[in-house]
Amino acid sequence: MDPKLLRVAQSGSVNALYSLLQKDPCILQNVDVLPFIHTPLHEASSTGKIDLAMELMILKPSFAKKLNEDGLTPLHLAVENHQAELALELVKFDPSLVRIRGRGGMTPLHLVAKEGDVELLTEFILVCPESITDATLNGETALHIAVISDRYEELKVLRGWMQRMRKGDASTTEIQVLNKRDRKGNTALHLAAYNNNHQAVKQLLKCMSLNRNIQNKRGMTALDALRANGPQMNTETESIIKTSGGKSGMSLSRVNTTSVFLSKPVTFREYCSTGMARYRSRMSDGTRNSLLVITALIITATYQTAAQPQDTDQFEKLSVEQIILEIVLLWGFNSMAFFLAIALTFILLPIGRAYTWWYIFITAPLICSYAISVYLKYNMTILFVMYVMVAFGFLIYVLVFYVKWKRTTRKKVPKPRIELISQGLETMV
């Protein structure tokens, strides 16, 4: 950096900066050309010159994302030198600065978790919530770093933030961060256990999304990591891990690798679930919404038909043929339409256990109510015949899927009569 520009940055004078620009308008541009350089903004950030730093942010916003020769941005330097007020001004100007990776893949959020500043950490995750998922080159998130650095207050803030997130992907983010493994396969819980840190372990175990029994690359769970401390192990920490469901690696069933899983034949259950997932993926949101409206109308119409009261005097006057037509065929087809609409609605639901269980809790009483409504109209024999028809149709549908699955798992595949030699250019019979 030009010595004159360095003196201006150290002085923090905005007027001196503009006086220098009047003499040499290209002086800032000359600095910006270099890919790695200690810019005036780096200098102003490390020394807490707020007015000059914000003026430079306006004149050259690119300085804020530039790394110096040590692999640090101005925000990194502000955090490292405990210039919290200046750091807050920088992230208010551009929240994305919180996620810029410096040396070792460390972001300013990681640095705050390491250096320790609860208020600054809180502001960082408020202005840039996505930064909580960022990891260093060693696979360490801010949660890992807070545990390693014994930053208990910062750990509580991160834990509390994850439990209070309300975005659509909040649950997924919480599971991802809490169970994130570093390069050695250690989660934050592993590291807290290795350090024999009772407070950190206790805070992490308050999270329901935390997997207590993840094994690192050495096959050790958090309980094994704690016991590795030997006589210095905190027995109270061991007790709370075991109480929360933590187990040793030896007591867990052997987990197959992905390659072993993929090499196994596809089961009938996997075939059905994969088919439903592919059906969903081929469908646009507009088509799915239209079909959901149609199935809702079908469920409503068929349920209202079942809920209508039956005139018993008129029913006794019906002939056998009329009874078969009205009860067996009419109610049989009505029931088939009702249950198929219920099944199609389930297929159209977004993927996720929460959606599945809520759907089951809602539709189970509805199906029971439908069956009771039909039962109150007719005797048990007629009801039995009607639902045998529905069950028979469902079994045929399942049988079709089963036959397709069996065809995909055949060991011997018949040879084709015609084998293509070169994609249509030449054939051999």
> Does this model's pTM top 0.75?
no
Q: With contact defined as beta carbons under 8 Å apart, do 64 and 41 qualify?
A: yes
CATH number for the domain including 86? 1.25.40.20
**Which stretch of 37-41, 69-73, 113-117, 310-314 has the lowest confidence by average pLDDT?**
310-314
**Domains in the chain, number:** 2
Domain carrying residue 328: 268-408
- Tell me what pLDDT residue 413 has: 47
Q: What is the pLDDT of residues 164-212, one digit of tens each?
A: 887 777 888 888 999 999 999 999 999 999 998 898 999 898 888 888 8
% of the chain beyond a pLDDT of 90? 28
**Which stretch of 115-124, 219-228, 324-333, 347-356 has the lowest confidence by average pLDDT?**
324-333
Per-residue pLDDT band at 134 (split at 50, 70, 90):
very high
100 and 156: one domain?
yes
96 domain-assigned: yes
Residue 347's nearest CA partner among 269, 258, 272 is 272
Q: How far is CA 104 from CA 37, 43, 229, 350, in A?
A: 18, 21, 29, 38
Q: With contact defined as beta carbons under 8 Å apart, do 90 and 57 qualify?
A: yes
- Tell me what pLDDT residue 316 has: 56
**Average pLDDT over every residue of 298-310:** 81
Angstrom distance (rounded) from CA 65 to CA 106: 14
229 and 169: one domain?
yes
- Tell me what pLDDT residue 87 has: 93
Q: With contact defined as beta carbons under 8 Å apart, do 344 and 295 qualify?
A: yes
- 1: tokens are 């950096």
429 domain-assigned: no
- Tell me what pLDDT residue 423 has: 43
90 and 129: one domain?
yes
Could you tell me which residues come within 8 angstroms of residue 168 by beta carbon, excluding any fewer than 6 positions away?
none
**Average pLDDT over every residue of 225-241:** 88
154 and 298: one domain?
no
Other beta carbons within 10 angstroms of residue 316's beta carbon come to 7
